[in-house]
Amino acid sequence: MTLNNWPPSLTTEQESHLLELATDYTLASGLVYRPPAIAPGTTPSTTSAIHAPYSLFPTPFPRHLFQQAQQLQPLYNALYAHVTTDHPFLDEVVGGAVAKVDEFQGKLYELWKQVEQEGVKQPLHLGLFRSDYLVHALPGAATADHTIKQVEFNTISSSFGSLSSKVTDLHRYLLKTNSYPTDVPELKLENLPPNPALKGLAAGLAAGHKAYGVARSAILMVTQDNERNAFDQRPLEYELLETHGIALHRIPLSQLGPLLTLDPTTSALLLTLPHAPNSPPTEISVVYYRTGYSPPDYVHPTVPSSTLWSTRLLIERSLAIKCPTLALQLSGCKKVQQVLSSPDRLASFSNKGSTPSTLSPPPTAALSQLDLDALLDSATNLYPLDDTPAGNAALELAYAHPERFVLKPQREGGGNNIYRSDIPPFLDSLAEEDKKRREGEPREGKGKGTKGEVVSELGVYGVCLFRAGGGDRVGGGEGGAEVLVNETVGQLLRTKGAESDEGGVAVGFSVIDSLLLV
């Protein structure tokens, strides 16, 4: 078998049988979404479900690249711990560039600086990360010569850990029951790696809770209104309760304002449970954001935007451990990723005298030169679009060869990127917006299989608990980060039609998949 002759051929009867087994498994195991709203202005049903989009077969993926991505994750965890605790770096890259041209990132930066000036109550940061990769294959190159290139690094609301674990279980179930064709020797259990993402991400939240140190406290998951992806979130709640004995409360951001207060002495975050308003408030150990990563998250039909931002500020001022803090969320913006693709800038996050730890989980945030080389090898070419000489040269490239590029804004959640021939007219529209700004003008703000050529994107989950200090970093900064937990905890494979540019599952561009290692 090669990467080009997959999946195995099925008769109509075989395909029908496989689809029936798979669909039953998805519904029985909670691999589901809430259905879409039936009409504009209505809310999704909370009493019915449909299966999440999934692939019927696992997708072949080079074993050595999967192993490389897993081994890279602790290095990326440590790198972003360094970035988050290097305030001068964030001031320069975000405050000096992104915040000046992006209103949303500017608001996040403003609140971060406000809390920093007041005095941070909780020095610990918790990251549930996901680093996304595409396989880079040169024409005619053998599989052994393929490489992986990082698409992006997610520091907030890294989703699908629970559902991706269930898709892996689905494919392993179909294999164990001999439901797949038996004449494909590569389809064997040792080539379908387990996926501990659900347990690993829950263990990361539990580590934050334990570090907080108050036994009767609970974790707060901040969600969106009318969340269709609730069944990717609920399993974390159940795992925390059953395995770790920790309660988790899921509450939309729009409802939190009147429910949260700060203890006037300790700054502990206190939550009045909406279903028990007369009971004593619950102290919150960890706040885990599954919202708050894009401008629409701070817009609501009945709650003023200022109230939603005030809620975010209240949480940031509290003693609770944030996943992520404002600083950690800012460190995940695309401009930071672009700056870190420069060897000189990346080198400023290495440690003097650190021992080589290439492709192995470092015990601290120390990054050796060999580690930096491994990170650089996984980076793709990233170009700025600013007023620097490099930015002007990149602008010329984008107009001359748009088919070679993806234009990325400082946004998360899928559906935001601009591709190929759409880039020049979009850049023209930005130029027109700049002209208006200069002139003072206002700005306007299913149960059936599908076959086709596909492209897959690998995401690797990581957990990192850290605080400032603990490293003699080259380049000064603030001494680096002291890393308390640094782990690789699972994976997500998203597969989409080759004709599609975007890759988000929640926004309808791809399906959840699993790996067949080759």
Residue that is written with structure tokens 């990132």 in the block: 105
Average of per-residue pLDDT across 15-42? 93
pLDDT at 197 over 60: yes
Annotated ligand binding at 502? The verdict is: yes
The Cα angle at residue 368 between residues 378 and 350, in degrees rounded to 5: 90
Annotated ligand binding at 404? The verdict is: no
Annotated ligand binding at 414? The verdict is: yes
pLDDT, residue 191, reads 97
Q: How far is 512 from 457, CA to CA, in rounded Å? A: 10
Annotated ligand binding at 229? The verdict is: yes
| Confidence band for 14, pLDDT divided at 50, 70 and 90 | very high
* Amino acid, single-letter form, for residue 425: P
Annotated ligand binding at 412? The verdict is: yes
Annotated ligand binding at 477? The verdict is: no
Average of per-residue pLDDT across 183-205? 96
**What does pLDDT average to over the chain?**
87
**In this structure, are residues 110 and 351 in contact, taking their beta carbons and an 8 Å threshold?**
no
pLDDT, residue 145, reads 85
pLDDT, residue 471, reads 53
Nearest CA among 442, 485, 487 for reference residue 465:
485
| Confidence band for 121, pLDDT divided at 50, 70 and 90 | very high
53-69 exposure pattern, b = at least 16 Cβ within 10 A, e = fewer: bbbbbbbbbbeebbebb
Q: How far is 38 from 457, CA to CA, in rounded Å? A: 31
Tell me if residue 55 falls in helix, strand or coil: coil
**CATH 3.30.1490 residue ranges in the chain?**
389-439
| Confidence band for 423, pLDDT divided at 50, 70 and 90 | confident
What are 234-248's pLDDT values in tens digits? Answer: 999 999 999 999 999
pLDDT at 472 over 50: no
Annotated ligand binding at 120? The verdict is: no
Average of per-residue pLDDT across 197-216? 97
pLDDT, residue 421, reads 72
Lowest mean pLDDT among 32-46, 64-78, 194-208, 452-466: 32-46
**CATH 3.40.50.1760 residue ranges in the chain?**
56-167+191-378+453-517
pLDDT at 505 over 50: yes
What are 55-82's pLDDT values in tens digits? Answer: 999 999 999 999 999 999 999 999 999 9
Annotated ligand binding at 394? The verdict is: no
Q: How far is 240 from 201, CA to CA, in rounded Å? A: 10
Annotated ligand binding at 291? The verdict is: yes
Average of per-residue pLDDT across 341-361? 63
**In this structure, are residues 307 and 139 in contact, taking their beta carbons and an 8 Å threshold?**
no
pLDDT, residue 439, reads 47
Q: Which CATH number is 389-439 given?
A: 3.30.1490
Annotated ligand binding at 416? The verdict is: yes
Annotated ligand binding at 290? The verdict is: yes
pLDDT at 444 over 90: no
Rounding to the nearest 10 degrees, give the CA dihedral for residues 235, 237, 241, 242.
0
Average of per-residue pLDDT across 83-112? 95
Annotated ligand binding at 152? The verdict is: yes
Helix (H) or strand (E) holding 70: helix 63-85
What are 130-178's pLDDT values in tens digits? Answer: 999 999 988 778 878 899 999 999 999 999 999 999 999 999 999 999 9
For residue 60, list its beta bridge partners.
516
pLDDT at 434 over 50: yes
Annotated ligand binding at 293? The verdict is: yes
**In this structure, are residues 247 and 278 in contact, taking their beta carbons and an 8 Å threshold?**
no
Fold of 56-167+191-378+453-517: Rossmann fold (3.40.50)
Nearest CA among 371, 348, 232, 364 for reference residue 288:
232
Annotated ligand binding at 478? The verdict is: no
Pairing verdict, β 510-513 and 481-497: antiparallel
What are 295-319's pLDDT values in tens digits? Answer: 999 999 999 999 999 999 999 999 9
pLDDT at 335 over 70: yes
Helix/strand/coil (H/E/C) assignment for every residue in 466-512: EEECCCCECCCCCCCEEEEEEEEEEEEEEEEECCCCCCCCCCCCEEE
Annotated ligand binding at 157? The verdict is: yes
Q: How far is 374 from 448, CA to CA, in rounded Å? A: 42
The DSSP output letter for 326 is H
pLDDT, residue 474, reads 40
Q: How far is 327 from 325, CA to CA, in rounded Å? A: 5
Annotated ligand binding at 505? The verdict is: yes
Annotated ligand binding at 233? The verdict is: yes
**What's this model's pTM, rounded to 2 decimal places?**
0.87
Annotated ligand binding at 292? The verdict is: yes
* Amino acid, single-letter form, for residue 452: G
pLDDT at 129 over 60: yes
* Amino acid, single-letter form, for residue 301: P
Percent of the chain with pLDDT over 70: 83
Q: Which two tokens stand for residue 114?
A: 């406000």
Annotated ligand binding at 218? The verdict is: no
Nearest CA among 23, 321, 277 for reference residue 170:
23
Percent of the chain with pLDDT over 90: 67
pLDDT at 504 over 80: no
Annotated ligand binding at 369? The verdict is: no
> First CA to last CA across the chain, in angstroms?
9
Annotated ligand binding at 197? The verdict is: no
Q: How far is 489 from 386, CA to CA, in rounded Å? A: 36
Q: How far is 281 from 227, CA to CA, in rounded Å? A: 25
Q: How many CA atoms lie within 13 A of 421 on its CB side?
A: 0
pLDDT, residue 39, reads 83
